[in-house]
Chains A and B, each alone.
Chain A
Amino acid sequence: MKMIKAIKNGFFSGKGKFLCAALFYLAGAIFAYVGLAPLRHGLHKALDYVNGATHPALNGGLPALIEISMGDKSFWTMGISLVGFALLVLLPVALFLTAGTYGLAAEAFEKPVRRFWGAASSQFWPFAALTIFNILYWVVLGIPAAFWFAGSRMIGQEHETFVTSYRLFIINMVVLFVVVVLIRNVMNFTLAQYSVTPGRGVGRNFLHGLGFAWRRFFPVSFITVLFMGLRWATVWIFAVLLSAGFSSPGRWWLSAVLLQIGWFIAAFLRVAEIRASVKYCGAFSWAEPPVEEKAPASPAHQVSVDDLSSTSL
């Protein structure tokens, strides 16, 4: 029930979700634009004055690239020279936006914009530390996975009578999926844990988040898989099915618009996932209330779920 409520909350409640989605979307769009600027420049240089639009053989896109590559061997090197840079710079930006989105999801605030920037700046370094912890967790998880994949390759090569390569491929895909879910579970819920109880310290929060993701494995995995599936479905619909029909030069803008809508929906789904994770995590935070100093003279005080929800939800 809590899980359903959290998912519903992720989609429909709270202020600033569209702001967050817009920022996520814009970050991707801007960096894609910057990263591919040399490639676009190269394409324009090669195609703008060669009557390419009237040449049927160049319309498919790939043939044009083949022709450009034939004429200019450095086209690809120059064209993607900024891609690595864009990816590198995007990392801290992604961290910043993620911190803001988690912060906004964790606490109701009258001014969501101010809250977003506040959380983004205050939680940036803790989130960076948590990401490093998470990478260590990936390594721990990745070692047995790597052994599995290497072993399965050997099995595939040497003992095909026992397990066929095809079956191994399917099994490998399942293993990969499980590994991705395990990683995503912990990533989402360690960050969510910190957002719900930021004062507890990064290391302790990471352990709590890790424990939470494993203790409540099934609902947590359900949230992860649901949003992952929705995002992939969105990408498939917009990037593959819809854009395929509009690949002619005259309709490039339609293709572009459809793809942008697709990426915006994907960004919104990511924000919804963050909100759902935080809400779900927050719903259990009463189990470990913040330690308070004892005041000898005061009467006994109990923390109720209502109290917590009024402050942290």
Chain B
Amino acid sequence: MRVSRMLFVLVAFASAPLLAQQVKPIFKTPLSPRNANYTMSVSLNAKTHVISGTETVTWKNLTADTVPDAWFHLYQNAFANNRTVFMRESGGQLRGDHFNGKGWGWERVKSISQVVDGRDVPLKQQFPKRDQVVMSVALAKAVPPGGQAVFHVTFETKLPKVFARSGYAGTFNMAGQWFPKLGVYEQGRGWNCHEYHANSEFFSDFGVYNVDITVPENYTVGTTGLIESVKKNQDGTKTLFCHAEDVHDFAWAADSRFLDRSETWEGIKIRVLMQPGNRNSISRYFTSVKQALEYFAAHIEKYPYPQITIIDPPEGGMGAGGMEYPTLITADASPFLPKRFRMQEMVVIHEFGHQYWYGMEADNEFERAWLDEGINSYYEMNIMDHYYGKYTSILDRLFGFSLSDMDEQRASYSRLPDTDPISQDSWKYESFGTYGGITYGKSALVLKTMENLIGKPLMEKAMRTFFQTWKFRHPYTHDFLDVFGQVAGKQNEALMRQMLETTDTIDFRVLAVRNHYVGRERGYDLTRTPPERFSTEKSKKAGKKGREAKGAYRSQVVIQRRGALVLPVDVKVTFADGKSKVVHWDGQGAYTIFHFTGSRVTGVLVDPVDKVPLELKKLNNGWSSKRNSLPAKSVGTRFGAVFQGLLSALLNLI
């Protein structure tokens, strides 16, 4: 038994590189450092949902440190029992999906060895963290700066029932974070290899992946990268050879029910693997991916990979939906989703955006998740607004109600706006809701506010420069701020730093509006020599209209700024004679007073064109001397109609 297993392992390890050599490169010149390369040969047992196989990991030390050990993620062990860090933090539920208490998963390294001088030296596994999600090995031979280590690993992964991103649901299998994967070695910091937290995603190095996947013959498979070839086996299975370059993860999905559809956009293949029941939503996937491709090509740079694959999970596997992997995303469709409710589009655009903010700009999602989730939410907001309208991008007049992507971000941010800063370790947030509201919502609003402040062209330049400086690398917040400061100036960098690294908030409000009627001129006119009494006739002639005449009123408009964040703002002031004026406040001080002479002030609106979406409360931004009941009636009417419908149903029931 042992001999046959050893033979299998040797054949597997020996044959994989041979297969790899036959592959035609995707990129002529590497896009990334390619310091963590994986060659794997795995098979899926469709009945037990166990993936077993081997991997050869070749890791290059890009730092100036000599590295004595290696740390690996065994992510699926997060679902091994109810004592893991992930299960304790999440309470068995994530993004509304609940763990059923039965479909546990696990990941086991059966053997690991380091290749030293051409022979395998077995390594002893250790588990330095609170659960077995992180495995470390002391190396048989330390890796010097610029040197490399090669590991042979045999492993087995039991997928859990779909709950948090990966797993199985019936015949659907989503293999995400499914193989022993190296952490990231950071110079001076050592291995950055965190536990699987409920509020965090992942972090790893770039490389080339050559992966053989054996699945039942009737299964359709979607993977990171490209499927180069397929070989049918005699035992009713097939083996797919997959190849991906310059990516930092490898995910795949297999299902016997997938509908396989493809389209292209400017030479890029868009492959959708769809659940049959959702087939009427396929066009929505293609359209939204093309929109995202087009927008990113115009505003950042063209998507460099030859393919993007979209996986549509089944009804019972929605926990796997809405997730990003390099060149592969999972989405979320339903045949019952009205076209005016653009949740499906939003999810696809968001997940595709991660190909840039996560896929290529590969930040540390454990420690600074805003760099992908926040920036990506900002782009999601821009793309949704661009293609579907600024005020209707999510909900387009459905039942008379509209909602924009920005409204959605504001709603999530406003729940607990000042508990945690944006730039923070993911697991330290007050709750999952706060993590979402701050990392996604507040970050997006901060960037939008900054865009409005410095202008779209400069903001685009800053974001593009950041991307181009840090693509295929691992930036942190200070790297972003450095680039931002270089492009947008040190003052804006300081402001951005305050918004990212503190819990400071901002809220403008109209504190007071005072109209003082000066009345007719009385006393002496000092412009005359000698001074003369003002004529009473002249003032009487002006009569009632004179109250609105020039100089009749002296008005004060007091605008207050609450919160420690200082931002400039426009204020639109409307007068009784129908004219209006936009005045500017630099935001300095706790409040400011605007003085006007002439017609009395009848209306004030702070931030009239929504330049500060980060602001906490919008309703205290306005004041009107006249009642305008239209907005309330408009909203009330729609609620009334819905409630009346409910009562009608009740009347009809009896």
Contacts and interface: CB of A to CB of B under 8 A. Distances in A.
B11 interface: no
Contact of B316 (A46, A59, A156, A245): A156
B632 interface: yes
A250 interface: yes
A253 B276 CA distance: 43
Contact of B407 (A48, A63, A91, A187): A63
Contacts of A161: 170-171
Interface in B630-645: 630-645
Nearest to B395: A62
Interface string A148-187: 0000000011011100111111000000000000000001
Contacts of B390: 56
Interface string B371-401: 0000000000000000000111001011111
Contacts of B316: 156-157, 160, 164-165
A57 B610 contact: yes
B605 interface: yes
Nearest to A134: B654
Given A166-B314, A263-B648, A58 B631 contact: yes
Interface in A71-102: 71, 83, 86-87, 90-91, 94-95, 97-98
Interface stretch (A8-16, A34-42, A110-118, A277-285): A34-42
A63 B404 contact: yes
A70 B290 CA distance: 36
Contacts of B391: 56-57, 59-60, 63
Contact of B647 (A28, A65, A235, A239): A28
Nearest to A97: B651
Nearest to B402: A60
B650 A53 contact: no
A54 interface: yes
A136 interface: no
A121 interface: no
Contacts of A166: 275-278, 314-315
A44 B414 CA distance: 22
Nearest to B618: A67
B403 interface: yes
B632 A48 contact: yes
Interface string B267-285: 0000000011110000000
Contact of B100 (A33, A67, A83, A157): A157
A277 to B, nearest CB: 13
Nearest to B169: A160
A166 B618 CA distance: 42
A64 interface: yes
B654 A187 contact: yes
B48 interface: no
Contacts of A46: 619, 632
Contact of B622 (A50, A62, A267): A50
A139 B612 CA distance: 55
A127 B653 CA distance: 13
> How large, as a class, is the contact surface on chain B?
35 or more
A40 B403 contact: no
A211 interface: no
A256 B619 contact: no
A240 B399 contact: yes
A157 B634 CA distance: 43
A233 to B, nearest CB: 14
A256 B475 CA distance: 54
A247 B644 CA distance: 17
A246 interface: yes
A168 B277 CA distance: 11
Q: Most B CB atoms within 10 A — which of A44, A66, A127, A164?
A: A164
Contact of B635 (A65, A164, A263, A270): A65
Interface residues of A, number: 82
A266 B653 CA distance: 12
Contact of B277 (A98, A164, A247): A164
Nearest to A235: B645
A40 B632 contact: yes
Given A46-B619, A55-B608, A166-B315, A63 B403 contact: yes
A305 interface: no
A55 B605 contact: yes
Nearest to B652: A270
Contacts of B628: 48-49, 51-53
Interface string A122-138: 00000100010000000
Given A47-B631, A53-B630, A54-B622, A36 B400 contact: no
Given A71-B620, A86-B647, A94-B654, A60 B407 contact: yes
A50 B620 contact: yes
A61 interface: yes
Nearest to A173: B336
Q: Most A CB atoms within 10 A — which of B604, B605, B630?
A: B630
B257 interface: yes
A87 B643 CA distance: 10
A247 B401 contact: yes
B407 A94 contact: no
A29 B647 CA distance: 8
Given A66-B414, A247-B401, A31 B647 contact: yes
B544 interface: no
Given A44-B629, A67-B618, A169 B315 contact: yes
A266 B648 CA distance: 8
A309 interface: no
B648 A267 contact: yes
Contacts of B604: 51
Contacts of B654: 91, 94-95, 98, 127, 131, 187
Nearest to A87: B650
B476 interface: no
Nearest to A23: B651
Nearest to A49: B624
Interface string B601-613: 0011100111000
Given A27-B651, A47-B619, A166-B315, A243 B277 contact: no
Interface in B499-554: none
Contacts of A50: 619-624
B231 interface: no
Interface in B164-212: 169-172
Contact of B404 (A60, A65, A244): A60
Contacts of A167: 277
A239 B399 contact: yes
Contacts of A47: 619, 629, 631-632, 635
A164 B256 CA distance: 12
Nearest to A259: B641
A159 B169 CA distance: 9
Q: Most B CB atoms within 10 A — which of A58, A94, A156?
A: A58
Contacts of A29: 644
B339 to A, nearest CB: 12
Interface in A180-233: 187, 231
Given A32-B647, A160-B171, A252-B633, A56 B610 contact: yes
A94 B651 CA distance: 5
Nearest to B603: A51
Contacts of A40: 632, 636, 640
B411 interface: yes
B402 A247 contact: yes
Given A39-B639, A70-B619, A240-B399, 8 more contacts: A56-B609, A63-B404, A94-B653, A95-B654, A161-B171, A168-B315, A246-B400, A263-B645
16 contacts: A28-B648, A32-B647, A43-B631, A44-B636, A46-B619, A50-B622, A53-B628, A60-B402, A60-B404, A62-B402, A71-B620, A160-B171, A167-B277, A187-B654, A240-B399, A252-B634
Give the 6 A-B residue pairs with the shortest CB-CB distance, closest first: A160-B170, A51-B622, A165-B315, A60-B402, A166-B277, A32-B644
Interface of B: 100, 169-172, 257, 275-278, 314-316, 340, 390-392, 395, 397-404, 406-407, 410-411, 414, 572, 603-605, 608-610, 616-624, 627-645, 647-648, 650-654
